[in-house]
Amino acid sequence: MPHLTTSAIVCAVRHHGEHGAIARLLTPDHGLVAGYVRGGRSRALRPVLLPGNAVKAEFRARTEEQLPSLTVELEHSRAPLLAEPLPAAAIDWSCALTAVSLSEGTPCPALFQALEGVLGAVEAAPAARGWAVALVRYELLLLAELGFGLDLTRCAAFGETDDLAYVSPRSAAAVSRAGAVGFESRLLPLPPFLLEGGMGDWGRIVDGLRLTGFFLERSVLIDRRADVLAARERLVERLKRAVA
């Protein structure tokens, strides 16, 4: 990738040297791409290099192995949302999850569109219930893209496709109410909105976050738990307080 100009979503930024920064951006056609931003810690660029912002990015590198230099131009700022605890927590978590989960340079257009949709929902919805379902679906899609998808098509015990109400933590497959009899406490609740679409009440949304969180922690965030999972815990706690 000697030269790439693309729209992108800022997912993570860390300081590098005295004035620079390394930014990891999600792009539509090239997946996650990292680049060095000269002056990235300057007063002019700090408001641009915020997780969740949409930017026009230009990457330049002399060789495939070299970390590209990166220049960014703001296309859409979500900085005002960062002053609100719940939206800020949702942006922080969804972008951090993306940055640590994906391999660089692997195209994932569905995830780009889905993350863009989640961030747009956070921005547009008057309350968290309007975007929390989208966030659960994004986590479910990310698991599938990484090869850890849940099988929600039929009951793992009986093979039936109706009345699916749980997921087995061992097989990551759906279980019907009949198949779960006597084992309910060992299974994870499956919220109906993941099967039928539409919205969910807060209890179902919490079930959805618990479901995806279990498999993310077990399969994706094994070596990167502390910082990233702390962002998710902040989000879940703020959601619980908001609806208490």
Q: What is the CATH number of the domain that holds 69?
A: 2.40.50.140
Residues 80, 9, 69, 75: is their CA dihedral positive or negative? negative
Residue 216 lies in a domain: yes
For 195-212, write each residue's pLDDT tens digit. 988 888 888 999 999 999
CB atoms within 10 A of CB 173: 17
Question: What domain range includes position 136?
Answer: 84-152+190-243
Q: Of the candidates 77, 103, 120, which is a domain's last residue?
A: 77
Task: Please indicate, yes or no, whether residues 144 and 200 belong to a single structural domain of this protein.
Answer: yes
Provide the pLDDT for residue 1. Answer: 60
Task: Please indicate, yes or no, whether residues 73 and 105 belong to a single structural domain of this protein.
Answer: no
Query: Which regions of the chain are under pLDDT 70?
Result: 1, 224-226, 243-244
Q: Of the candidates 27, 60, 77, which is a domain's last residue?
A: 77
Rounded CA separation 79/82 (Å): 5
Provide the pLDDT for residue 191. Answer: 96
Number of domains in the chain: 2
CA dihedral of 136, 137, 139, 142, whole degrees rounded to 10:
180
Task: Please indicate, yes or no, whether residues 111 and 231 belong to a single structural domain of this protein.
Answer: yes
Provide the pLDDT for residue 184. Answer: 94
Task: Please indicate, yes or no, whether residues 133 and 205 belong to a single structural domain of this protein.
Answer: yes
Provide the pLDDT for residue 66. Answer: 82
The conformational region for residue 67 under phi > 0 = left, psi -120 to 50 = alpha, else beta, is beta
Rounded CA separation 68/236 (Å): 36
Task: Please indicate, yes or no, whether residues 69 and 90 belong to a single structural domain of this protein.
Answer: no
Residue 174 lies in a domain: no
CA dihedral of 90, 31, 66, 23, whole degrees rounded to 10:
-20
Task: Please indicate, yes or no, whether residues 112 and 41 belong to a single structural domain of this protein.
Answer: no
Provide the pLDDT for residue 225. Answer: 60
Provide the pLDDT for residue 224. Answer: 65
Provide the pLDDT for residue 244. Answer: 61
Answer yes or no: are the C-beta atoms of 90 and 232 closer than 8 Å: no
Q: Of the candidates 44, 77, 110, which is a domain's last residue?
A: 77
The answer, as to whether pTM is greater than 0.85, is: yes
For 157-168, write each residue's pLDDT tens digit. 899 999 999 999
